[in-house]
Amino acid sequence: MKKLIILSLFLPFAAKAQFTIVNTSTVDLVELRPETSTSPLKLQRVIKESDTVFVLEFRDLGYTNDVIMSTLRFANLQQLKYFQKGLSALKKGYTGDIAKFKDYTVKRVDVKKEGITYILNCSSGETTNFQQQDADKMIAAITNL
């Protein structure tokens, strides 16, 4: 019984060394389509300790029967700015133009009734699309960073 009491006195000190508290936060920079829609799309800033990354969260349209959420991660603000420059260049371009990046491509497709559509293809196979007004909102949100 004495051993149990002595052990219980040292147990709280040992438990404190088992974990650390990490300060994290996720901020939505722009939510283009709400999570309740069939194809949600939002741009987020994720801060973990002293590291900041940016994430484009979208529904993978490669799966027609299931809702599979995917993310495109930008390691820093510079990579996010390149994405912005690619969207701006495609806006001035023509149908079929492609902005190629290391981990993804963005293709412009002009559709008569819908206007300008962009198709995002990640190198790991995820795909989604968004309209010109969504691209304009992303460009504006990234400009303010």
> 28-71, pLDDT tens digit by residue?
899 987 766 778 899 999 998 778 999 999 999 888 888 889 99
DSSP 8-state symbol, 82 = H
Q: Is 96 left (phi over 0), alpha (psi -120 to 50) or beta?
A: left
Tens-place pLDDT, residues 78-110: 999 999 999 999 999 999 999 999 999 999 999
The one-letter amino acid at 106: V
CATH of 21-143, one of 2.40.50, 3.40.50, 2.60.40, 3.30.2450: 3.30.2450
20: pLDDT strictly greater than 80: no
Instruction: Give 44's DSSP letter.
Output: E
Report the percent of the chain where pLDDT is more than 70.
83
Nearest to 52 by CA among 85, 71, 70, 77: 77
Q: Is the pLDDT of residue 6 over 80?
A: no
Q: CA-to-CA distance for 52 and 77, rounded, in angstroms?
A: 8
Specify the higher pLDDT residue, 4 or 64: 64
Is 100:88 a contact under the CB 8 Å cutoff?
Answer: no
Report the pLDDT value the prediction gives residue 143, as an integer from 0 to 100.
94
Stretch 23-31: mean pLDDT: 86
Question: For position 17, what pLDDT does the model report?
Answer: 52
- Taking only Cα atoms into account, the Rg of the chain, rounded to an integer number of angstroms, comes to 22
Coil, strand or helix at 83: helix
Task: Centre a 10 Å sphere on the Cβ of residue 17 and count the other Cβ atoms it contains.
Answer: 7
Weakest-pLDDT range from 22-26, 35-39, 84-88, 113-117: 35-39
